[in-house]
Structure 1
């Protein structure tokens, strides 16, 4: 079958890709960005008629995405799966694709380009190479960047690009981190401090916080076949997404930007209430369903949430533990939001694998779950259901031989030879890159974990 390209366009993109110039660099050119920021950016250009916001996407690890997109002139499709028939849309906003390991100098040059005024990021939590509240200066890749090689880490790339600019930049983190914008600024500051030189443009560089939400499961061969049937051409870069899409951005920019609010985003003075509701309600529930679902043998999140007991636990997690810790932003009904979360998870058309969501638990737990635990303990409450979610992660670590986690070696070493519930709990609570002393020393939290781990191990 003929492949999607500018010469084989069965569905015309909403903007003419040939007319676009690059004004945005995006680090982390995975499926989520292509189903989210790239779509909103294209919609913004359609609404305003501007053509200066084409995207130069950077793959941080492999050449797979470049090899998918380059023969297609950067074009790809979004296969939207809701409760009705699937729909497909061709997106043309990505105009250049770089692979960082192959040409790190080109990445820095793009960030430094005066035509570029915005950098966005979706590099997952582990891509920030952070420890606690700062940059992990002992990370060997950070050390290699600091010693003068063409940078290959995200923070190194940003720092090198900023250092070469005459005008300040706006850098928008779109990853699931608490106060992701200020956090990223702190990491880049740590990097410059380690270098011993801070460029003049850094002070004026802006790092607005943002919150993103859309379920984007991994694309399967069946998805590619479905897209080909709908398009009439083969698309090797198709991404799958639910109909829902949300992007809340702090209105704090150093210079020109796309009119993202015209493309469906929300611009606000304070992202924090939106972010906390999403991390603690949606992301924490997603992770709990992933761990409990995987332990019960469910392949997808939709299968897990259709389990009556897991559905009840998900509701209890949000209602009993999370909602009391939140101050909702104006316009967000937490009860309705929680119901919509479970409704979205139950979408049978989205085969979001439990193992995919369960990845990288060591960096997800602190931002998705442990803040809720800490707040409930401080209020004198017993965080029963959120503790079950943490306990499920512990048993998942024990029972998963091929654990996909940046701290997999440390975690597997911690639980080696452990079989008793209390010893498993203590071994993982002792991992100080995940659990802070206040949680380790909490008798209430530890006893809940031992109770839940005992139950989970007995039921397996």
Structure 2
């Protein structure tokens, strides 16, 4: 039976998870770069909820590095299941907003054609922090990035995200297409401004007139996105099939909670996302800061310390009383005082985060969250550390999180087993950390100014604290180091 047939059968059977609109009437209005589990459980769901009102906002997705998403979803007409799990309870729904997924490695021309299609009014992005080819410490484009160098030499055959966007905008301008919005949904500081800086920066290296056009005509709204979406497992596929009768090659699993805060700047219109629960605001920055520092910062600390102490999943890590106490103190004592008062009851938000982290049904792997630390930690932890140090305050828990990342990046766990470190700077980190003396290793790592900038390496308090924590992690292990820190903070 086809995927469409499965959906009709499920709907007719009273299972309540069929599509509430005629999918044949849906036409593309959005191109999404970086189709992955998060996008399919978040942006696509919000958009799916608007299609009954306006079917002109279907999504054409693109996988930028691998063909596996297209290969899995094409046989089922790009329909897929979202499994919402909380403890032992599960709720299933079918999402039909995704109309196609293109493989950018083999279908680049088709992808550019889709981005230039006059029906497309928004291009959305979830390409992870490293996809922007920028310097995380400054937020500016890295002109020496290999993909950027390639695209400058081959502007009509781009492989980077900035290259693809600039080429598409160049073609749209040449064909008289209306200006559009480029909507970043990644965890970057001021993500709309960062995306604009990277895209116009790349355009300026190619064509100053094009760069001026982009700066004036194209909108780059900022967003804050929040939903925990672990990687899908074979057990998830079996459970989805058992509950729905729909043999889904790539469902997504997520939690009940979902939040999307969006700066409302869309020159060619947008879906009625507010009807699906999104918050349309004039300024996203306070929400973004809250989420990056409280949720993402806590997630990274739990990932590194949890992995090093033998916890495969976040729920296991936060169930450890010492790690839970550490995270509670990190949010309460170190992060919350750095946030603006307009955000309301931060203690309630903290408690909600701890509850969400403890959702054992999600099986969110610490190893998965630990990926790409060099790209994530400047926003998640180093910004909090800078704010604390600027105010003359300590940041012991946040600095322990950074030290735990470095301990993880050595590539060996506490039992001498190899860690599969996934990070664009993994080789540099491993080489730097291979120095026989911990102090020398830290000197080498802190010289990586594209991660740490120049201020933190020269701050005596930061340097002394990270060395103390890093040596303790090497000599005593993660949990003993956490216990010692908790005693110091008592």
User: Normalising to structure 2: TM-score of the pair?
Assistant: 0.90
Q: Could you tell which deviates more after superposition, 448-457 or 225-234? A: 448-457
1:392 paired to 2:399: no
Q: Deviations over 1:249-308 (max 9, x none)?
A: 001111211011111100000000000000000000000000000110110011000000
Task: Give the 3 Å change call, closer, same or farther, for CA 328–153 of structure 1 in structure 2.
Answer: farther
Distance 2:352 2:445 in 1: 33
For residue 34 of structure 1, give the secondary structure of its aligned residue in structure 2: helix
Correspondence for 1:174 among 179, 185, 206:
185
1:436 paired to 2:453: yes
Correspondence for 1:314 among 322, 327, 347:
327
Distance 2:405 2:351 in 1: 24
Q: Deviations over 1:388-445 (max 9, x none)?
A: 1111111111244431101111111111243x43333322212111111110011111
Trace 1:229-244 onto structure 2 (pairs within 5 A).
229-244=242-257
Asked whether the 8 Å contact 2:435–2:441 carries over to 1, the reply is no
Asked whether the 8 Å contact 2:51–2:97 carries over to 1, the reply is no
Deviation at 1:84, TM superposition (A): 4.1
Asked whether the 8 Å contact 1:273–1:328 carries over to 2, the reply is no
Q: Deviations over 1:317-361 (max 9, x none)?
A: 11111111110445x411111111111001110101010000000
Asked whether the 8 Å contact 1:15–1:42 carries over to 2, the reply is no
**Runs (4+) off by over 6 Å:** none
Asked whether the 8 Å contact 1:248–1:266 carries over to 2, the reply is yes
Deviation at 1:196, TM superposition (A): 2.2
Q: Deviations over 1:110-138 (max 9, x none)?
A: 11111000111000000111023211111
> Which residue of structure 2 aligns with residue 118 of structure 1?
122
> Which residue of structure 1 aligns with residue 297 of structure 2?
284
**Which structure has more helix as a fraction of its residues?**
2
Q: Could you tell which deviates more after superposition, 160-169 or 175-184? A: 160-169
**When the two structures are aligned, how many residues end up with a matched partner?**
454
Trace 1:44-193 onto structure 2 (pairs within 5 A).
44-46=50-52, 49-131=53-135, 132-148=138-154, 149-165=156-172, 166=176, 167-193=178-204
Asked whether the 8 Å contact 1:14–1:91 carries over to 2, the reply is no
Deviation at 1:201, TM superposition (A): 4.7
Asked whether the 8 Å contact 1:173–1:207 carries over to 2, the reply is yes
Correspondence for 1:32 among 38, 52, 56:
38
Asked whether the 8 Å contact 1:74–1:92 carries over to 2, the reply is yes
Distance 1:328 1:246 in 2: 20
| Structure 2: gaps of 5 or more residues | 11-16, 413-417, 478-490
Asked whether the 8 Å contact 1:281–1:338 carries over to 2, the reply is yes
1:459 paired to 2:468: no
Distance 2:201 2:189 in 1: 18
Question: What is the root-mean-square deviation in Å for CA atoms of aligned residues?
Answer: 1.3
Asked whether the 8 Å contact 1:208–1:250 carries over to 2, the reply is yes
Distance 1:351 1:328 in 2: 34
Correspondence for 1:426 among 425, 431, 443:
443
| Structure 1: gaps of 5 or more residues | none
> Which residue of structure 2 aligns with residue 6 of structure 1?
4
Distance 2:311 2:324 in 1: 13
> Which residue of structure 1 aligns with residue 393 of structure 2?
381
Deviation at 1:17, TM superposition (A): 1.8
User: Normalising to structure 1: TM-score of the pair?
Assistant: 0.96
Distance 1:362 1:312 in 2: 26
Asked whether the 8 Å contact 1:15–1:92 carries over to 2, the reply is no
